[in-house]
Structure 1
Amino acid sequence: MEKQHRIDCHTHIVNQKIKDAYYQNPGGYAIIMEFLPQFANAQMPDESWQLAAEDERLFLSPCIDIHQDIPAQLAAIEDKMLARPECGVVGLKIFLTYQKGRADDEKMMCIYEVARRYGLSVTYHTGLPSLHLPTDDDMEGSNAKYVRNVAIAYPDVNFIVAHLDDPRFDECIEAMHGLPNMYSDFSGTFEPGASAMEDIEQTIRAYDRAIHLYPDAYRQILYGTDFCPPIALSAFGEYDETIRQIFTPDQFEDIYWNNPLRAFPKLAGILREKGIIK
């Protein structure tokens, strides 16, 4: 799949060092999920806005800290996004599980209003957290069933349930069924120490079973790696192999390219303006 054009819908290419590592492989376009402030440190600085502005292959989903003043953060993002269109803002990121809260909490509604106004897609962390980051460990709050509620309420906003709500894979696909504005990915699978790595073949079988609950579910699955140390470069090949095992060859173009373009209409619009897609 080396020649497969692709959009990596979930990365944490938050600084130059990570970017240099990411593009050691023949990568394509990628969406940066900005870190929460408490995730960044001297060893892992977050330079997401600057990187996205400097590289036409990179797009940005700024994060919202749901424990802080949400309207103030949205206003700051709007100002920055409008002043610096070269940053390629295509979405917003919410770190559920890490931060206690539900997608359908009333305080979240202003996020979706801004997303609707600018054509941005909303990505949530769902399910198990990384072993390497501070967390509220609110597994219940990140359940995909709450994302379904807001997807119904905001049919013109796209919502991405990252990580297939690990380990609630079947429930995630059930929540998405019948809602074309919901998407998911299995990014983060190959993080060392993650529960999915304990028996990777069993994990892939669980993905496969869930995704095949409905014949059209593949149209809601996105290519995403969650790339950021400690995820290694070797994981790229493992993601490709996982896709080979779950999907048929005629579906590969959807997973790597067509579905991401539909899930992130703002990104599709930017590529269309540049003449890269029609």
Structure 2
Amino acid sequence: MPVRAYCDCHVNIFRDEDVLPLYETQISRVRPSGGMAPKGDADTLYAEMANVEKAIIFANRYADSVGIASDDELTAAAVAKYPDKFVGFAAIDPRMPDCMDLLVHAIEDLKLKGVKFGPIYNGVALSDPRLVPVYEYLQKNNIPLTMHMGTTYARNAPIDMGRSLHVEPIALQYPDLVMVLAHMGHPWYDDCIVVSRKQPNVFCEISALFYRPWQYYNILIAAQEYKITDKIFWGTDFPAARVDESVDGLLTINEQVEGTKLPRVSDETMQRIIWSNPFEHWWHGDNPLQG
């Protein structure tokens, strides 16, 4: 019987031509047998997401760090092709002189419903003045902001910019801006958990964590102990990880501690995350699935 989840909140879309030589050079250091990135086109994503009800998809503007550079038009076209499955987020790079024009176009013309930003990948700190108009626009227009939080294998990506502690001042300054911390801020997951616990407008998600099972176990136990499991959402980071292995990685997390007195990740926690619904939490009153 196939494993299922409600919403994959972290799915990357790109064309073959969006994958640059830099990507293959870097990924070979961390996944020697990985080679080039798997397909990330709309049809591939749709097939992969067969066992989830909804998928939040976004392009990557990470040409000089990861080596993948796609765009919002690609995201919008995928949503138009599969509107019952995909919800599109815009991708921003604050270094681009037309960043705000592209953002307004993505939200108001392409009708994308959120934004994805990678401070560590673009080399732009969350406190950078170039982000002020972005924050103001998103807060004014009820648009959530998903951010890559945590480390990365990319060499040209300042690690400190992936620390979740940098989110708190922004969350306080923009209390109506919903901020979603991807990857639980790994390996500094405690920072992610305590910031999310303190700030009502900060949420987090567990994409691309299951393949480090001991770290993943500790993340989930800490989240239970701090009582923030209602603020954690499920995702894959496809094509970095697939739906079936991501669900299975969560459901089998306790196997590594069988026969010990260590605490267990509860069934309630697992089911709450797998069936989490960002559309009930990331927007203030307006459900993007209804307009």
* Bin of the TM-score, shorter chain as denominator length: 0.7 to 0.9
- How far apart are the structure 2 equivalents of 1:105 and 1:7? 32
- How far apart are the structure 2 equivalents of 1:224 and 1:268? 22
Match of 1:6 in 2: 6
**Helix, strand or coil: the match of 2:147?**
strand
- How far apart are the structure 1 equivalents of 2:169 and 2:186? 19
Give aligned pairs, total: 253
Paired residues of 2:10 and 2:235 also in contact (CA < 8 A): yes
Q: Which has the larger radius of gyration?
A: 2
Tell me the amino acid that sits aligned with residue 58 of structure 1: F
- How far apart are the structure 2 equivalents of 1:262 and 1:153? 23
Match 2:147 to one of 105, 121, 124 = 124
Asked if residue 269 in structure 1 is aligned to residue 287 in structure 2, the reply is yes
Asked if residue 210 in structure 1 is aligned to residue 222 in structure 2, the reply is yes
- How far apart are the structure 2 equivalents of 1:31 and 1:66? 22
Scaled by the length of structure 2, the TM-score of the pair is 0.75
Match of 1:194 in 2: none
- How far apart are the structure 2 equivalents of 1:98 and 1:206? 26
Tell me the amino acid that sits aligned with residue 82 of structure 1: E
- How far apart are the structure 2 equivalents of 1:255 and 1:141? 26
Paired residues of 2:13 and 2:57 also in contact (CA < 8 A): yes
Match of 2:91 in 1: 63
Tell me the amino acid that sits aligned with residue 189 of structure 2: F
- Mean CA deviation greater in 1-10 or 239-248: 239-248
Match of 1:193 in 2: none
- Mean CA deviation greater in 5-14 or 58-67: 5-14
Consecutive unaligned residues of structure 1, counting only runs of 5 or more, are 191-196
Paired residues of 2:125 and 2:161 also in contact (CA < 8 A): yes
Asked if residue 35 in structure 1 is aligned to residue 60 in structure 2, the reply is yes
Asked if residue 22 in structure 1 is aligned to residue 48 in structure 2, the reply is yes
* Shift in CA distance, 61/84, structure 1 to aligned 2, threshold 3 Å: closer
1:195-231 deviation digits (Å, cap 9, x = unpaired): xx3xx3312222123212312x112111111111x43
Match of 1:160 in 2: 180
Measured after TM superposition, the shift of residue 64 of structure 1 is 0.9
Tell me the amino acid that sits aligned with residue 207 of structure 1: I
* Shift in CA distance, 5/140, structure 1 to aligned 2, threshold 3 Å: closer
Tell me the amino acid that sits aligned with residue 56 of structure 2: I
Consecutive unaligned residues of structure 2, counting only runs of 5 or more, are 15-40, 256-263
Tell me the amino acid that sits aligned with residue 261 of structure 1: F
Paired residues of 1:11 and 1:30 also in contact (CA < 8 A): yes
- How far apart are the structure 2 equivalents of 1:260 and 1:101? 26
Match of 2:245 in 1: 235
Query: 1:151-230 maps to which residues of 2 (within 5 A)?
Result: 151-190=171-210, 197=211, 200-215=212-227, 217-228=228-239, 230=240
- Mean CA deviation greater in 242-251 or 98-107: 242-251
**Helix, strand or coil: the match of 1:47?**
helix
Measured after TM superposition, the shift of residue 45 of structure 1 is 11
Measured after TM superposition, the shift of residue 235 of structure 1 is 2.1
1:133-180 deviation digits (Å, cap 9, x = unpaired): x55221111211111111111111100111111100112111222212
Match 1:52 to one of 79, 95, 99 = 79
**Helix, strand or coil: the match of 1:140?**
helix
Paired residues of 1:126 and 1:143 also in contact (CA < 8 A): yes
Paired residues of 1:35 and 1:46 also in contact (CA < 8 A): no
Measured after TM superposition, the shift of residue 11 of structure 1 is 0.9
Match of 1:113 in 2: 136
Measured after TM superposition, the shift of residue 82 of structure 1 is 2.3
- How far apart are the structure 2 equivalents of 1:2 and 1:268? 32
Q: Percent identity?
A: 20
Match of 2:17 in 1: none
* Shift in CA distance, 17/258, structure 1 to aligned 2, threshold 3 Å: closer
Paired residues of 1:90 and 1:266 also in contact (CA < 8 A): no
Match 2:99 to one of 65, 73, 82 = 73
